[in-house]
Chains A and B, each alone.
Chain A
Amino acid sequence: MPAVQETVERVRRIDVDQYRYGFETLIESDKAPKGLSEDTVRFISAKKNEPAWMLEWRLEAFRRWLTMTEPTWARVNYPKIDYQDIYYYAAPKPKKTLSSIDEIDPEILKTYEKLGIPLREVAILEGVEPPPGGEPSANRKIAVDAVFDSVSVATTFQKELKKAGVIFMPISEAIREHPELVQKYLGSVVPTSDNYFATLNSAVFSDGSFVYVPPGVRCPMELSTYFRINERNTGQFERTLIIADKGSYVSYLEGCTAPQRDENQLHAAVVELVALDDAEIKYSTVQNWYPGNSEGKGGIYNFVTKRGDCRGKNSKISWTQVETGSAITWKYPSCILRGDNSSGEFYSIAISNGYQQVDSGTKMIHLGKNTSSRIISKGIAAGKSQNTYRGLVSAHRKATGARNYTACDSLLIGDKCGAHTVPYVEAKNSSATFEHEATTSKISEDVLFYCIQRGLSQEEAVGLVVNGFVKDVLQQLPMEFAVEAQKLISISLEGSVG
């Protein structure tokens, strides 16, 4: 079918060109010397005015990293990363000490405006209509922490959150202002020795968000962090730590974009979540890093360690992710179900196009009694991409009554891509009940025919089927992100009919 193939190729080219966030902000920045050594670690720590214990923690991680080797088990191929050819710290040069949002470099403000991220304390994100009848209600507000390259440039609604007792600030500030909390929880979910990329992050992380929700508090608004890589040859290594104390609730959103460049840039983040007794954390991500061009040149290498610890009884952690960006995604948001009756959820849509490679999934580790987990994963592969779901469900000896349900489906669009499923199901307790199902298929011709017969165009019909296919996941996203995600999905799949 040469004609159809041509259409696919043409549309796919438009597709990659459609990356809307590929612009670059011209701004002077303050960088660490290129390369990685103990001095780099000391430089970052000094820049952040960190206490001695923090520097020691970083150095220990760095020394361990030197002894580790890069993992190769994932289904991703990339040229060897030269860790000495990266800037580990880049921050916009501050003009003076900032006392209000108006003093932020207007270039940066403009950048966020372009991205649709409100740094002024506006109530709602772009694209969401206020509810009929006027003023947006309080619970529709979103507090934003904006991370630009290696530093947090603004955090909104801090005062209002403080009133509720919620701490939401850049982690570099938290290290100085709340050392007791940071020391207690940092590295307690993802230890410095966890894996190659997490260890690297522990040594050189520069900023990220810190959230602490005190006992019994329901966080009054959605919290969100927006990550932007801007500088050339720079890696972004952010660290997020969220602690939901007994009986609290917090919903956190994360978004990411980067300029369009021919070089590959490294992003190695660590996210740690801790949920104590009866607490709940909902963590949503819309990942839209620059995916590279139609030839597979450029794009972000996204090697991320995300893990939640349901430490208390009846706690709950829910991960939702919409993955459309990055040249390479290596990411497995996991739940350690330690507390009795705790539960974990993982909802994911991963869409790959062009030459993208996705190896993503989750781990549900059942340790406590009567723990439950649910995994819904949808992978859509188009173009020449490879999309892998890799997931582990395990029940340990004492995890009596563990329950898991997994459904992972893949959809292939075109015959040059690949969709793979690698589940690991390990049960060491007889009362564990695990169910796993997966299917791989292309969009059924019968279904398409049915839609077209009723007057939809081919593209509309595909859109309808795909949206139905990913609906389970989209429903889990907070309202503000659901709108954004719908847009992302239509970008990635437009014209993919073949």
Chain B
Amino acid sequence: MNVVAKTETGRAVGDGFALVRDRLPGGGKIADLRREAFEAYERAGLPHRRIEDWKYTDLRALMREVLPLAPRPDAAALSRAAAATKPQLIGGVRRLVLVDGVFAPSLSDLGNLEKGLTIRPLRELLDAGDSALSTQAFAFDNSNPMIALNGAMATDGVVIEVADGTVLAQPLQIIHVASGGAPAAMFTRSLLRLGRDAGATLVESHLAADVATAYQTYNALVVSIGDNARFEHVRLVEDAFDAFNISSVNVSLGAHAHYSTFGLTSGAGVSRYQMTVTFAGEGSRVETNGVNLLNGKQHADTTLFMDHAVPNCASREAFRAVVDDRARSVFQGRIIVRPDAQKTDAKMMTRALLLSDEAEADNKPELEIFADDVTCGHGATTGALDESLLFYLRARGLPEKEAEALLIQAFVGEAIEQIANDALREVAIATAQRWLEARV
């Protein structure tokens, strides 16, 4: 095995960086930013449960191995990756594929770009020398150690620009595939910049070749949404069941912008999705919906941070978890309303459905309010399937598992229905359906 070290994981991550730093793309300013990011990571170390933000996801306990950086995919890896993406094809979308953390032009669709759309691999951008764009991609908040680590190590990604006034008709899809070489770690960082009055739809998929096991994927996405722009974002995590997925997204919105996002996690052994949304202009609106479908020993953590920094914005967060077997679902939501952010309208709801006696759901919906003329609310519920509803269905002849499936479908359906794009909604419904069928 290509394992660098066991247990002493925090330390070993540092050694890993020293080993590869000269091979990482980007010189000049980027090299400085990488070093800063790495130093920030080194100061904090691997997050553990005594750090409030990581209370329920103790990486010191969950992360047993540090893996070497994945090698550039060879032809065999690319063909395994191609085979893995095939069943997941979504009609009518433009595919951008990252295999083992490296952009794969042969699997991606870069032809006939719509007017106003630019797509470049991050590596190409970095190799071309410093630019405002490359700096923006690395201008992430290093106070989160895992984001800092990603900044230090990121090898590739996709940089997408949508010009002012361009509304893309075709959705974009970034596919992260693990090709299944020796267990390895992959680090990607992508950037999406939407100009004024622009519009785009992006789906991010995380999947793996059948032979891929025990890999680690660390991803970051920086999104800036211009004034009056609209962005729809769907995220599907179907990583291998022993894989490790830590992904972060940082979104900033201009004035009168609209961002709606939906995430479905049914794969990965340990996953953490951390999202920060900052309102930088007035009159904007954000809707975030998420569903976790977990079984076995999966551990999935969704941590959302909604920063109402300016007045007159609205946000809605709705999160649902279905937890079976010995799985654990974590939701941490934090809404902060800054002192001058009057007329903020923020609501957050998290609901968990526990299907087994050993399942666990931890919810922490937090409000931090510094302005008085606001409406903020949050709710959290946890419970089992409603006995009387189950009885009703069974009395009508449905077998127990099917009756359960029907109720679960209704439970997650409410969140999935929020996806505006028809094709993507169908994909999410199909993914949930597969999970339910596997259960029956």
Contact = CB atoms under 8 A, between A and B. Distances in A.
A429 B357 contact: yes
B368 A420 contact: yes
A426 B360 contact: yes
B363 interface: yes
A436 B381 CA distance: 6
Contact of B373 (A410, A415, A424): A415
A93 interface: no
A123 interface: no
A233 B331 CA distance: 45
Nearest to B358: A397
B366 interface: yes
A104 interface: no
A413 B372 contact: yes
Interface in B334-373: 339, 342, 352, 354-373
B380 A434 contact: yes
A423 interface: yes
B162 interface: no
B360 A412 contact: no
A431 interface: yes
B378 interface: yes
A414 interface: yes
B380 A417 contact: no
Interface stretch (A168-176, A250-258, A298-306, A437-445): A437-445
Nearest to B331: A425
A7 to B, nearest CB: 16
B52 A440 contact: no
A419 B352 CA distance: 26
B347 to A, nearest CB: 9
A440 B374 contact: yes
Contacts of B380: 423, 425, 434-437
Contacts of A430: 354-357, 359, 384
A434 to B, nearest CB: 4
Contacts of B382: 425, 427, 432-434
B116 interface: no
Contacts of B356: 430
Given A423-B364, A425-B364, A427-B361, A434 B369 contact: no
B72 to A, nearest CB: 43
A426 B369 contact: no
Contacts of B383: 432-434
B377 A438 contact: yes
Nearest to B330: A426
Given A415-B371, A427-B361, A429-B354, A421 B378 contact: yes
A427 B377 contact: no
A438 B378 contact: yes
A422 interface: yes
A424 B364 contact: yes
A204 to B, nearest CB: 28
A428 interface: yes
Contacts of B362: 424-427
B338 to A, nearest CB: 10
A148 B121 CA distance: 73
Q: Which of A421, A427, A428, A434 has the most CB of B within 10 A?
A: A427
B357 A437 contact: no
B118 interface: no
A441 B376 contact: yes
Nearest to B342: A415
A437 B378 contact: yes
A409 to B, nearest CB: 9
B367 A421 contact: yes
Bin chain A's interface residue count.
20 to 34
A418 interface: yes
Contacts of B363: 423-426, 436
A327 B364 CA distance: 27
A422 B376 contact: no
Nearest to A422: B366
Contacts of B359: 428, 430
Contacts of B378: 421, 423, 436-438
A331 to B, nearest CB: 19
A413 B357 CA distance: 44
B170 interface: no
Contacts of B357: 397, 429-431
A363 B52 CA distance: 17
A73 interface: yes
A427 B352 contact: yes
Interface string A180-204: 0000000000000000000000000
A421 B378 CA distance: 9
Given A410-B369, A441-B374, A422 B381 contact: no
B339 A440 contact: no
Contact of B369 (A73, A419, A432, A437): A419
A195 to B, nearest CB: 14
Given A422-B366, A439-B377, A415 B354 contact: no
B386 to A, nearest CB: 10
A412 B365 contact: no
Contact of B367 (A427, A428, A440): A440
Contact of A437 (B361, B375, B377): B377
B379 interface: yes
A258 to B, nearest CB: 29
Contact of A442 (B354, B355, B366, B372): B372
Contacts of A440: 367, 369, 374-377
B369 A418 contact: yes
A211 B170 CA distance: 74
Q: Which of B356, B365, B372, B380 has the most CB of A within 10 A?
A: B372
B305 to A, nearest CB: 14
Contacts of A427: 352, 354, 360-362, 382
A498 to B, nearest CB: 8
Contacts of B352: 427
Contacts of A397: 357-358
A466 B223 CA distance: 43
Contacts of A428: 358-360
A441 B367 contact: no
A421 B365 CA distance: 8
Nearest to B360: A428
A420 B371 CA distance: 11
Nearest to A419: B369
B372 A414 contact: yes
A397 B357 CA distance: 7
Given A73-B52, A425-B382, A430-B356, 19 more contacts: A397-B358, A416-B339, A418-B368, A421-B367, A422-B366, A425-B362, A427-B352, A427-B354, A427-B361, A428-B359, A429-B354, A430-B357, A433-B383, A434-B380, A434-B381, A435-B379, A437-B379, A440-B374, A442-B374
Interface of B: 52, 339, 342, 352, 354-384
Q: Which 9 A-B pairs have the closest CB atoms?
A: A430-B354, A412-B372, A436-B380, A433-B383, A425-B363, A427-B382, A434-B382, A440-B376, A421-B367
Interface of A: 73, 397, 410, 412-442
17 contacts: A410-B367, A417-B370, A417-B372, A421-B367, A423-B363, A423-B378, A427-B360, A430-B356, A430-B359, A432-B382, A435-B379, A435-B380, A436-B363, A437-B377, A438-B367, A441-B376, A442-B373
